Amino acid sequence: MSEMSLHEAIHTQRAIRQFTGEPVPEEDIQALLDAAVCAPSGGNRQPWHFVVVRDPGLKAKLRELYHRSWNAYKEKVAEMARTRAEAAATLERWKKNPAGDHFAAELDKIPVFIIPCLDMRVLSFGDDPEAPSVMTTNSVYASIYPAVQNILLTARARGLGAVLTTLHCRYEDEAKRLLGIPAYLRTACLIPVGRPGARYGKTRRVPAAERTHKDGWNSALAATYEPGRGILRVADRMARNPVTCSPDTLVYDAQAVMREGHFGRLPVVEEGRLVGVVTDRDIRTALLPPEVPKGLKDRFDLLLVRRVKDIMTKNPVTIGPGDSIEQAADVLKARKPGGEGVVALLKALEEEGAEVLSVVSDPDPSDPANFVHYTVRVARADPKTLIPFLERKGIPRPEILLEEAGKG
């Protein structure tokens, strides 16, 4: 097993819900549990037990409980969607990507379940598991979830996939009877463990600065947070303070700025308002006229006399920084031929662990199907495996163009 720094494990430890079904050696599971018991607990009382489930019959029965709870959860979200926009957005996202349905239906196919349990007698200093006399109800779980996080991080470090789930808790009594777990124990969660069927990548979260209150509660900061909205927003991924040009900028100057900054496009701003976008393709198109206007030496002189307002795309479609990435993808699909294709492409690249740096679209006017060609710059990807992976995902005509380090 290759060494992985704690920093890397933390920043790439994502919930894995796709698994290969390949068996997990006992030594790997033991390593996860050895890490779990290194976690802190109240008074160092270590109130944990870990139930490891490999038996196919038991896993199938736990899957039935989980699946029943998942369906009840979906029904509740559907009910809330009638009056709450965010619930409706969640429901729509599930329709487009039924990963949750697949996970619930195939849960028992995952090789190993780990169920961390909390011994309430240890925390209550007595025999009444419902009355912890020293620790509050909220604080007792602080003595088990650090152990859970240690399991997840160690799974990441050992190349295993894992995810924290709690839906079985809706039917906890049935789950405990199934496994013979005593009444004085609480099942904190269920962690499926296996070989990941999807690649790990950088964890996507709202930046800490947007949730950090210094020396007390910051009401202005809190006002920017809307509970229930999608975690990943346009503001989390957009380029801040972008380089812009004005409508009267010479096309030659706009091209120079794009080349120097390795940009594919420039926002066109007038009096603080976005009025258009000029792209590298717009500039190439401006050079297409076969006849050179009188008084110019060649068609490249057009760049010295034409201005951005002559060639830019006017009134571009925009989206706000508070909108979700899913909403941005929907706008892309609605406004651009082949938009569905780029969404599938980006998801496929993310699965393979590639970091997407930029996306440039280029419609092919000669293509009768009006396809849009996408050029995607990525990092942390192996070209030898990327092409066959994309082909298996149904991405048409993938091609790898290698860049030399330091040359843009």
The pLDDT of residue 229: 45
Query: Residues of the chain whose pLDDT is less than 70?
Result: 1-3, 125-138, 225-233, 235-237, 287-303, 322-344, 355-381, 383, 396-408
Query: Does residue 360 contact residue 375 with C-beta atoms inside 8 Å?
Result: yes
Q: Measuring CA to CA, which residue among 45, 103, 38 is closest to residue 69?
A: 103
Distances (CA, A) of 266 to 21, 246, 340, 345, 408: 47, 10, 24, 24, 17
The tokens describing 198, both together, are 């999807």
Q: In this structure, are residues 393 and 385 in contact, taking their beta carbons and an 8 Å threshold?
A: no
Cα distance between residue 190 and residue 149, in whole Å: 12
The answer to whether the CB of 116 falls within 8 A of the CB of 78 is no
What is the per-residue pLDDT for 302?
Answer: 63
User: So what's the architecture of 239-314 in CATH?
Assistant: Roll (3.10)
Residue ranges of the chain that CATH labels 3.40.109.10: 6-194
Residue type at 210 in one-letter notation: E
Question: What CATH superfamily classification does 6-194 receive?
Answer: NADH Oxidase (3.40.109.10)
Give tens-digit pLDDT for 183-240: 989 999 999 999 998 777 778 777 888 889 999 998 888 777 665 444 456 766 677 7
What are the DSSP E strand ranges found in 112-171?
112-119, 161-162
Rg (CA), the chain: 27
pLDDT single digits (tens) 313-372: 888 878 777 666 666 666 665 555 445 566 667 777 777 777 666 565 555 545 444 455
Reference 311, options 342, 289, 278; nearest CA is: 278
